[in-house]
Amino acid sequence: MKPSEEIKHNMIKHNMIKIPSDLSVSEGGVVNRTRMRFSSLRYEPSALVAVLLTVLLTYLVIAPLCSMVLDTVRVSLKDSAITGLPRGTFTTYFIKRTFSSRVSGVLFWTPLKHTLFISACVALLAIPLGAIMAWLTIKTDLPGRKFFSSILVVPYMLPSWTFAVAWLNLFKNRRMGGAAGILENLGLHTPDWLAYGALPIILCESLHLFPFAFLLFGNALRSVDQQLEESARVLGAPRRVITWRIIVPLLKPALMSALLLTVSRVLGSFGTPYILGSPVKYYLLPTALYNSFKVGSPGVSAVIATVTILLGVILVAVDAWFVREQKRYVTIGGKGAMKRPIPLGIMKIPAFIFSVVVVVVAVILPLGTIIFSSVTWEAGVFKPGNFTLAFWTGKNIPAYPGQSGMFFNKEVLHAAWNSLRISGLAALIAGITGLMVGYIVVKLANTFIASYLRQVSFLPYLVPSIGFAAACLSFFAVSRGPIPSLYGTIFLLILVMSMKYLPFAARSGISAMIQLGNEPEEAAQVCGATWFTRIRRIVLPIQKQALIMGIVLPFITGMKEQSLVIMLATPGTELLTTQVLRYIDYGYTQLADATMLIIVVLIFVFTFGLEKLTGGNLTAGFGGEN
Amino acid sequence: MKKILAVGLMLTLTATLLSAQTEFNLQELIMAAQKEGELTAYFTSSRIKEVGANFEKKYGIKVRGTKMADPEQAERIIREVDAKNVQVDVIGFEDGALLEGKLIPDGYVSSWVPPDLKQSIPLEDQNPLIFLWQPRIFGYNTDSYGLTPPVANVWQFTEPKWKGKIIIRDPAMTPANLAFFSALVTNPQPLADAYKELYGKALVTKEANAGWEFLKRLFENDIIVMQSDGDISQAVGAAGQKNAPIGFYTLTKQRDNQTKNLKLATLQGLKPFMGYALPTYGLIVKNCPHPNAAKLFIHYILSDGHYPWTVDDMGAFSSNKTAPVNKENEGTWEEWTHKLIRLDNKAALKMRQDVLDFWLLSSNK
């Protein structure tokens, strides 16, 4: 088709040219119309893509969740063993047991209270910290701000339970088994409230999650068009007015996102409350869910999981309402913006010290204790003969039957390979799907299908990993139509992981597409570019960074994911993170620590490798210099 | 003619099969197993790695052995069998209640006793097959309390002196502990007698019986839970402690007295029981991919294969009466059974929910 025809086609499409009505009557007319429909698909296949995405996400996200909701009233084999109810029948027993039995306080209400309390505290701690650090590194002349902006992403890259493990290394007391913590060894008794429970959970979660706010505020601050500030300054507005009347309102979406993601993250985080809460029986919803699952009452687990999903849905509703209230911003301008850092003046030194403290507490200390543990025979003991490299380079380590150091350990190497391919493929699927969702959501804005895709693609984020894994396990373990049973295959892991991480990618895809706006593509369309050309030559190049983020973030998360995969991994499909848990089960603390370090190293290597490979500056994208 | 031939052939085949069933031939089983090539095993014990490696050395059949707790094993087996995608062949399982209540009746796993070993395994250990017995006992730290046990009667655990100092494996995730508690409430008389012996008067209780009262007082005394016997033995046994807690762990953990410098000792003479007899069942999963290798493995852990559990280290006993025992075991299994409570799977299944709820309520007060 010649360009002129393409333009004509578009004009037809936009009702600019009336087609003679008799066309459809003639035989050739039908052919023409069919051809036109196909060619219309070629020019504007958004609708087709939207339908495909809708079907796919419904099957992969909604169906498993529905199946789990069904499990709240259906008697499973295990429950039938204990309750005596026949398998497969329907009952309200589990719902009553969870909400209004003598054990419902223990099973549900107290964990719910704890969850809300911890979420609020973490949000209050992590978001301001992230916002302050973002402002310091992007808007001010803080010394070493490029370095800070790179290293402050690290806590988020670490597995969330790193902080819990490090916390125990320091504060563990005699209440828990194994060797005592470093402080206890130094003769300082750590009370239970300091070692376990709410306080350490809040601190560890905040340390892990503040980079989230840091990234979001960083991106927002960077994309605020400098001209707005310049204009205000020209008009004589003082700094304070510029900050409160221009910058802060523009940061509202970032604040809302940070709040939403932080709360939902706490709702779904398992490792930290498990490690730090269990010793004093301080349970949150995810750990309560896990307990019910472990105890072997699938009915109650399904009820608790459903409640957490509902809480998630409420959060999505709040988000949707907020977005509707907000105007949409097109914050990426076509013109170059000049940067003028705000001088910190006498606050320069205190701000620098503060930043250093944040880095020490959030990065150096946790990693330090784990490295330290992986090279000692007895964790927490400072004696010369206590240091060893056996857990890295040793073969057949004494007192660890059949185990070699990391570099010769077949299990670890196989698990590493599994981690890489499973997270890698899942991230790729999530990233591409996410960008497609973003594209459709913006293209078909204000349609039902767009808001459906937007919300469904965000839903897995709000379902706790364990709950999502449980739902998918029961749904995909049986063969359905052309799809065989996926239990025990890496496909199940890839599938579940890619859906669980779709929200990252979809979020970044949606916000990137909103910022891009429709204009560049429409311009190309007018020039006669096909859909594929437009995607290839315009959307992808502009969105390269968003796509990279949409792949790298899920990949990073996949490499350290534990609660999502612990139920899905089988011997042979073991991942590095589940291998860590196996080692903890065996009591091989140092091997667990060393495996954890491998995860960390892999995460770093791949993040920076990808950054170099694509030429995209990831840390800049996260909020550094341009 | 063809038909007659076919029928004749079938008859011969059936006869061969039948004779194969009646006359057990270990050599044939080994050959059949070696054709299958490999084996996947979920066991509650971490020793499965070592046993698997030995098995591979002896028969050339690779074993993928994984330590896995009962609830997770059950979850996986149910899923795998329901999905008709069975990965695991053989399991070492401790949740007798679920086993006898569901997994065996509903055909998820089956119990197979090697015919050539039937003579040496007690009948009550054959259905379902128990291959390993362990005492799970109360133990203390000799650095803290010397060589004389600091406690002589289990009711002392409920006294203020031991508040926050008794450690057990989380009953919610340890079905055998729930079964133990069930045994105490279904057969409370020994506890009632022990109470009278200690305090010189009969127990007065609002609970249904002395068993429930004991559990209530024990749980409410800030009892501490841990996830594994290894954690408990380390917390109790770490050298140099002044007021070490008392722990409820499997006797086999006392092997770490040498390797990890622990100071563990059993509360010998504890009234009215030292703990309970923990069975490990050896079972074959339905429609497993390597059924002959699974049978051979069961045969192996009942003959030569149990050494890593029972001979190389202390604390566990083979159900095979002809098997050698470790000298440090503080007696034969026969002697141990008199000091331990034997679990009753049927009662445990019936009482499980009640005992679990009681635990949840009392321990979270």
- For A126-180, what is each residue's pLDDT tens digit? 999 999 999 899 888 899 988 998 888 888 878 888 888 888 878 877 676 555 6
- Residue B263 CA to residue B249 CA, distance in Å, equals 14
Question: Which of the pair, A573 or A223, is modelled with greater confidence?
Answer: A573
Which of A396, A478, A570 to mutate to test binding with chain B, by most B CBs within 10 Å of its CB?
A570
Of chain A, the percentage scoring pLDDT greater than 90 comes to 22
Residue B228 contacts A where some CB pair is shorter than 8 Å: yes
Q: Which residue's structure tokens are 């969740």?
A: A65
Residue A345 contacts B where some CB pair is shorter than 8 Å: no
Chain B residues whose beta carbon lies within 8 Å of the beta carbon of residue A295: 71, 172-173, 356
- Residue A534 CA to residue A573 CA, distance in Å, equals 40
pLDDT at A296 over 90: no
- Residue A578 CA to residue A562 CA, distance in Å, equals 6
The answer, as to whether pTM is greater than 0.90, is no
A623 by Cβ neighbours in 10 Å (0-12 / 13-18 / 19+) ranks as buried
pLDDT at A29 over 50: no
> Of A194, A607, A142, A179, whose CA–CA distance to A347 is shortest?
A142
Residue B174 contacts A where some CB pair is shorter than 8 Å: no
Q: Say whether B363 and A291 touch across the interface (CB within 8 A).
A: no
Chain A residues whose beta carbon lies within 8 Å of the beta carbon of residue B351: none
Amino acid making up residue A435: L
Cα-trace Rg, chain A: 27
Residue A294 contacts B where some CB pair is shorter than 8 Å: yes
Chain B residues whose beta carbon lies within 8 Å of the beta carbon of residue A102: 357, 361
Q: Which residue's structure tokens are 């150096």?
A: A364
Q: Say whether B87 and A477 touch across the interface (CB within 8 A).
A: no
Number of Cβ pairs < 8 A linking chain A and chain B = 125
Chain A residue nearest residue B87, CA to CA: A488
Mark which residues 395-434 of A lie under 8 Å from B by CB. 399, 401-402
Q: Where are the alpha helices (DSSP H) in A489-560?
A: 490-516, 519-526, 531-534, 540-542, 544-560
Residue B303: CB atoms within 10 A of its CB come to 18
From the list B42, B64, B72, the residue facing A572 with the nearest CB is B64
Report pLDDT digits (tens) over B238-260. Answer: 888 888 999 999 999 998 888 77
Report pLDDT digits (tens) over A580-604. Answer: 877 766 667 788 889 988 988 988 8
Q: What is the mean pLDDT of chain B?
A: 89
The predicted pLDDT at position A41 comes to: 53
Phi, psi of A12, rounded to the nearest 5 degrees: -60, -45
Amino acid making up residue A434: G
Per-residue pLDDT band at A390 (split at 50, 70, 90): confident
Beta strands (DSSP E) in chain B are 38-43, 62-67, 90-93, 109-110, 130-141, 166-169, 224-226, 246-250, 264-266, 275-285, 317-318, 340-342
Instruction: Judge whether B178 and B168 are in contact, CB under 8 Å.
Output: no
How much of chain A is in helix, strand and coil states, percent to nearest 5? Answer: 75, 0, 25
Chain A residues whose beta carbon lies within 8 Å of the beta carbon of residue B232: 177
Report pLDDT digits (tens) over A170-200. Answer: 887 767 655 567 777 777 788 889 989 999 9
Report pLDDT digits (tens) over A521-538. Answer: 888 888 888 888 888 888
Give CA separation, A423 vs A299, A453, A565, in Å: 30, 23, 11
- Residue B270 CA to residue B215 CA, distance in Å, equals 17
Phi, psi of A513, rounded to the nearest 5 degrees: -70, -35
Q: Say whether A81 and B357 touch across the interface (CB within 8 A).
A: no
- Residue B188 CA to residue B205 CA, distance in Å, equals 12
- Residue B323 CA to residue B304 CA, distance in Å, equals 8
The predicted pLDDT at position B2 comes to: 56
pLDDT at B117 over 50: yes
Instruction: Judge whether B174 and B71 are in contact, CB under 8 Å.
Output: no
- Residue A361 CA to residue A399 CA, distance in Å, equals 34
The predicted pLDDT at position A238 comes to: 86
What is the residue-wise DSSP string for A25-68? TSHHHHHHHHHHHHHHHHH-THHHHHHHHHHHHIIIIIHHHHHH
DSSP state of A328: P
Per-residue pLDDT band at A338 (split at 50, 70, 90): low
Chain B residue nearest residue A107, CA to CA: B360
Question: What tokens appear for B257 in the block?
Answer: 């007295």
> Of A451, A392, A551, whose CA–CA distance to A54 is shortest?
A451
Helix-helix angle A63-71:A298-325, to 10 degrees: 130
From the list B40, B101, B224, the residue facing A175 with the nearest CB is B224
Residue A334 contacts B where some CB pair is shorter than 8 Å: no
The predicted pLDDT at position A176 comes to: 66
- Residue B258 CA to residue B309 CA, distance in Å, equals 16
Helix-helix angle A285-295:B70-82, to 10 degrees: 70
pLDDT at A498 over 70: yes
Q: Are strands B109-110 and B275-285 parallel, antiparallel or unpaired?
A: antiparallel
Task: Please tell me whether residue B64 adopts helix, strand or coil conformation.
Answer: strand
Per-residue pLDDT band at A98 (split at 50, 70, 90): very high
Average pLDDT over residues A400-408: 79
Report pLDDT digits (tens) over A206-261. Answer: 999 999 889 888 888 877 767 777 888 888 888 888 888 887 887 887 888 788 87
Q: Say whether B67 and A585 touch across the interface (CB within 8 A).
A: yes
Q: Say whether B357 and A103 touch across the interface (CB within 8 A).
A: yes
Per-residue pLDDT band at A619 (split at 50, 70, 90): very low
- Residue A477 CA to residue B84 CA, distance in Å, equals 9
- Residue A26 CA to residue A37 CA, distance in Å, equals 16
Dihedral sign for Cα atoms in the order A182, A183, A185, A191: negative
Residue A40 contacts B where some CB pair is shorter than 8 Å: no
> Of B225, B223, B222, B247, whose CA–CA distance to B234 is shortest?
B247
Residue A246: CB atoms within 10 A of its CB come to 17
The predicted pLDDT at position A286 comes to: 85
Q: Distance (Å) from the C-alpha of residue B229 to the closest C-alpha of chain A?
A: 10
Question: What tokens appear for A199 in the block?
Answer: 């306080």
Q: Say whether A585 and B74 touch across the interface (CB within 8 A).
A: no
Chain A residue nearest residue B79, CA to CA: A477
From the list A77, A177, A567, the residue facing B102 with the nearest CB is A77
The predicted pLDDT at position A11 comes to: 39
Task: Please tell me whether residue B156 adopts helix, strand or coil conformation.
Answer: helix
Of the CA atoms within 13 Å of residue A209, those in its CB half-sphere come to 31
Chain A residues whose beta carbon lies within 8 Å of the beta carbon of residue B364: 105-106, 110, 281
Q: Which residues pair with B133 in a beta bridge?
A: B279, B317
Mark which residues 202-261 of A lie under 8 Å from B by CB. none
The predicted pLDDT at position A178 comes to: 56
> Of A523, B78, A582, whose CA–CA distance to B91 is shortest?
B78
Q: Which residues pair with B130 in a beta bridge?
A: B281
Dihedral sign for Cα atoms in the order A375, A378, A379, A384: negative
Chain B residues whose beta carbon lies within 8 Å of the beta carbon of residue A585: 46, 67, 228
Instruction: Judge whether B316 and B309 are in contact, CB under 8 Å.
Output: yes
pLDDT at A554 over 90: no
Q: Which residues pair with B246 in a beta bridge?
A: B166
- Residue A313 CA to residue A309 CA, distance in Å, equals 6
Chain A residues whose beta carbon lies within 8 Å of the beta carbon of residue B356: 295
The predicted pLDDT at position A258 comes to: 84
The predicted pLDDT at position B110 comes to: 96
> Of A548, A496, A527, A604, whose CA–CA distance to A151 is shortest?
A604
Establish whether the linkage from the previous residue to B272 is cis, with ω within 30° of 0.
Answer: yes
Question: Which of the pair, B277 or B229, is modelled with greater confidence?
Answer: B277
Question: Which of the pair, A602 or A516, is modelled with greater confidence?
Answer: A602
Per-residue pLDDT band at A14 (split at 50, 70, 90): very low
The predicted pLDDT at position A27 comes to: 45
Q: What is the dihedral of CA A512, A513, A517, A520, to 10 degrees?
A: 100
Mark which residues 517-546 of A lie under 8 Å from B by CB. none
Give CA separation, B361 vs A104, A135, A276, A296, B8, in Å: 10, 49, 21, 18, 67
Instruction: Judge whether A607 and A157 are in contact, CB under 8 Å.
Output: yes
The predicted pLDDT at position A32 comes to: 54
Task: Please tell me whether residue B167 adopts helix, strand or coil conformation.
Answer: strand
Task: Please tell me whether residue B318 adopts helix, strand or coil conformation.
Answer: strand
Question: What tokens appear for A233 in the block?
Answer: 């300054």
Residue B197: CB atoms within 10 A of its CB come to 13
The predicted pLDDT at position A40 comes to: 53
Q: Are strands B317-318 and B130-141 parallel, antiparallel or unpaired?
A: antiparallel
Instruction: Judge whether A458 and A506 are in contact, CB under 8 Å.
Output: yes
> Complex ipTM above 0.95?
no
Question: Which of the pair, A605 or A180, is modelled with greater confidence?
Answer: A605
Q: Say whether B79 and A487 touch across the interface (CB within 8 A).
A: yes
Question: What tokens appear for A422 in the block?
Answer: 């499973």
